[in-house]
Chain A
């Protein structure tokens, strides 16, 4: 038995959005969660009683599998709350694929819901170093931690804002083609990028992802079942995960290669392809630097190669290598790894509207959690 035996044997068949995305005050993450679940079930053309599996990335607000199942009236053969922070999306899709392949479930509903924008950030408590002294130093939040990694990366790779501005602007151009995106109506120029306020120097606001309300769901089933449903299946060709457990400050992974290296290698091996076969990437872009470092760690370019890779709109609409085609976490909406993964599904299914890629064959979607500590990779194909 080997993961290669699972190549193309399972698929993601639907995506459930919420009508409201971004800033949704005066609601609950549970309501948003239920809406996304309903939409994912209907999008697949399934009846709710077909769903016998549920995996979700839990929130502190009580969106847990048993609560969601109770409100959807589901009886389940397979369920769990599954939290590997930003890598949860790909891990969840992978576990769902294994479950349906082995008959533990027929249709696994996968979910993330959040009211981080309106209520506040509720996750990540487990990342706090035991010394508990970070706050005393004014070291607060993910932007600072990633900025520390990025500042080191500037020295090692010769990149920095001159590189990151391309990532921010290219991603924004994709968002400008996506009516769901928070920044759909807001173009971003290089001048705008430099005019943005510092969040934690060297990061400006445009280097940092959104903080959003909303939910996103998708359904995983076997390839045979997938072919009977409404939309073309997005086959799971490859999957991988890897998690460096080292503490942030001690970590060598500030400048990589991050766990993307091992996670990506596993996913490519399962899919039986190389990076050259990848048509586009949906990268977990919590920060611009995360995109540079993740793609470098996957092996798309050598250390420092990000300087040229993102230039001249190469990863923007019309560019030769599309990256983060929904606008990503930077410019569409921040639903952890569910944002990039569901966009990969929509692109493979040919349902991305004005931003639709022409005949994408393989799309790689990444999840990344903690401070470059957890990673998941899903490779989807038509």
Chain B
């Protein structure tokens, strides 16, 4: 359950709110450094060799702390999706598609399906990664119908 923005902010906002950006901390920073170079990489445990996601300092399979960053093909399928028709954030225009993408390597990622009318998105649809350069620091991996 993601945390909803507070309904009554403590003071008036200084201007139009900026588009929400990802959070880069000690454990997530490499992910965003790679995506800036338009590479999709996730941790691969140095002990058991399994991939894991979401980003974490510890392998959920063997509890080893230490991973390399394995490059993914960026190809996958839509596991599920929803269409946001009402505005959830002032800086994000509607409609848009939020989807869980099942990547070839078995990892699932929450993302957007883009370059496709929302009505045409289907469960099981083949997709490939495309990078949205949101800011100088952050490029978001999103997915479009596979060519």
Contacts and interface: CB of A to CB of B under 8 A. Distances in A.
A272 interface: no
Contacts of B27: 130
B55 A201 contact: no
A25 to B, nearest CB: 11
Given A121-B4, A250-B108, 6 more contacts: A125-B3, A131-B28, A141-B2, A142-B2, A144-B2, A149-B80
A151 B2 contact: no
Given A138-B92, A148-B81, A132 B3 contact: no
Given A137-B140, A141-B88, A131 B55 contact: yes
Contacts of B110: 129, 133-134, 137, 139, 148, 248-249
Interface string A116-159: 00011100110111111111111111101101110110010000
Interface in A82-139: 85, 119-121, 124-125, 127-139
Contacts of A247: 53-54
Q: For chain B, what secondary structure do more than half of its interface residues adopt (helix, strand, loop), or is it mixed?
A: loop
* Interface residue range, chain A: 35 or more
B112 to A, nearest CB: 5
Interface in A170-184: none
A370 interface: yes
Contacts of B25: 132
Interface in A189-205: 197-203
A254 interface: yes
Interface string B75-93: 0000111111110110010
A371 interface: yes
18 contacts: A119-B8, A120-B7, A124-B2, A127-B1, A128-B3, A131-B54, A132-B22, A133-B110, A133-B140, A135-B89, A137-B111, A138-B92, A140-B4, A144-B84, A199-B86, A248-B110, A249-B108, A249-B110
* Interface residue range, chain B: 35 or more
Interface of A: 85, 119-121, 124-125, 127-142, 144-145, 147-149, 151-152, 155, 197-203, 247-250, 254, 370-371
Nearest to B142: A137
B114 to A, nearest CB: 10
B146 interface: no
Contact of B80 (A130, A131, A197, A254): A254
A144 B82 contact: yes
Contact of A130 (B8, B54, B79, B82): B54
Which among A132, A133, A199 has the greatest number of chain B C-beta atoms within 10 A?
Answer: A133
Given A124-B1, A141-B88, A151 B28 contact: no
Which among B6, B82, B88, B107 has the greatest number of chain A C-beta atoms within 10 A?
Answer: B82
